[in-house]
Structure 1
Amino acid sequence: MEARRVGIFGGSFDPVHNAHVALARLALAHLALDRVVWIPAGQPWQKARRLAPAEHRLAMVRAAVADEPRFEVDDCEIRRAGPSYTLDTVKELRERWPGVQEWFLILGQDQYAALSTWHGWRELLQCVTLAVAGREGCEPAQPEALRSVPHRLHTLPLPPLPVSSTLVRQRRAAGLDIVALVPPAVASYIDCHRLYLTE
Structure 2
Amino acid sequence: MFGGSFDPVHQAHLALAQTALSHLHLDEIRWIPVGLPWQKTRQLAPAEHRVAMVRAATEHEPRFVVDPLETVRGGPSYTLDTVRALQSAESLLDATLVERWFLIIGQDQYANLHTWHGWQELVRRVTLAVASRAGQVPRPGPQLAPHPHRMVVLPMPEMPVSSTDIRARLAHGDAAQTLVPAMVSNAVARYIEQHQLYAAGTPR
Q: Same fold (TM over 0.5)?
A: yes
Native 8 Å contact 2:103 2:126 kept in 1 = yes
Partner of 2:171: 173
Residue-by-residue CA offset, 1:140-172 (whole Å, 9 max, x unaligned): 122111111000000000000000000110111
Task: Compare 138-147 and 163-172 and name the one that shifted more.
Answer: 138-147
Aligned pairs, how many?
192
- Partner in structure 2 of residue 34 of structure 1: 27
Written as runs of structure 1 = structure 2, the 5 A alignment for 1:1-199 is 8-96=1-89, 101=97, 102-176=100-174, 177-179=178-180, 180-198=182-200, 199=204
Measured at CA, do residues 144 and 121 of structure 1 come closer, stay the same or move farther in structure 2, by a change above 3 Å? same
Distance 1:150 1:158 in 2: 25
Question: Which residue type is aligned with residue 120 of structure 1?
Answer: G
Q: What is the letter of the counterpart of residue 22 of structure 1?
A: A
Runs of 4+ in 1 over 2 A off after TM superposition: 96-101
Identity %: 59
Structure 2 letter corresponding to 1:81: G
CA contact (8 A) 2:112 2:140 kept: no
Q: 1:84 aligns to what SS in structure 2?
A: coil
Output one character per residue of 1:14-70: Cα deviation in whole Å (capped at 9) or x when no partner. 000000000000000001111000000000100100000000000000000000000
Cα RMSD (Å): 1.4
Partners of 1:62 and 1:73 within 8 A in 2? yes
Distance of 1:193 and 1:97 partners within structure 2: 40
SS of 1:144's equivalent in the other structure is coil
The answer on whether the counterparts of 1:172 and 1:178 sit within 8 Å (CA) in structure 2 is no
Normalised by the length of structure 1, the TM-score is: 0.93
Matched position secondary structure for 2:121: helix
What runs of 5+ residues in structure 2 fail to find an aligned partner?
A: none
Look up the SS of the partner of 1:166 in the other structure.
helix
